[in-house]
């Protein structure tokens, strides 16, 4: 076998190896990736039932309803254009409240509701940890 053919064979094997590794990585990411949806996105084209997704928006005022079991809550996520009812079982974050931002991780159900397995409460962009605010005030150079 000539040297030219050996280089072509090695380049071909390298290309096949890279394509195989890319395919495996994409396959693994597809199982773990959670796409982000807003309620208006869901109203237009709902995601597949049973697929892990993230739903983000604001908790609608007056929508938080604790359930009799003591660990489940029902609430509504809205973006001002559409709403999605959400059910969550577990301990809600301290920042979770009405009229605040939330990102719920979970799955859509066949009836269009969302079952959350994890809640991430969002705070506004002006939030600063108290320790950092104290340091900035002590420096007297930056506004907290």
As annotated, the binding site for heme includes 123, 127
- What is the C-alpha to C-alpha distance for residues 69 and 28, in angstroms, rounded to an integer? 36
Binding site, by residue number, is 123, 127
DSSP strands (E only) in 52-140: 53-59, 65-66, 72-78, 83-89, 101-108, 114-121
Q: Which residue has the tokens 């150079």?
A: 141
Q: Using CA atoms, how far apart are residues 98 and 75, in angstroms rounded to an integer?
A: 9
* Neighbouring residues of 71: CB distance < 8 A, sequence distance ≥ 6: 89, 90, 91
């Amino acid at each position: 076998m000539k040297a030219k053919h050996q280089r072509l064979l090695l380049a071909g094997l390298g290309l096949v190896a890279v394509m195989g590794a890319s395919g495996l990585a994409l396959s693994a990411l597809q199982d773990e990736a959670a796409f982000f949806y807003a309620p208006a996105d869901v109203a237009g084209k709902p995601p597949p039932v049973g697929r892990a997704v993230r739903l983000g928006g604001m908790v609608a005022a007056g929508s938080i309803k604790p359930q009799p079991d003591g660990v489940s809550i029902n609430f509504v996520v809205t973006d001002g254009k559409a709403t999605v009812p959400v059910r969550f079982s577990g301990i809600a974050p301290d920042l979770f409240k009405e009229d605040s931002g939330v990102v719920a991780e979970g799955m859509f159900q066949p009836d269009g509701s969302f079952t959350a397995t994890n809640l991430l409460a969002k705070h506004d962009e002006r939030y600063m940890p108290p320790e950092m605010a104290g340091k900035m005030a002590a420096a007297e150079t930056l506004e907290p």
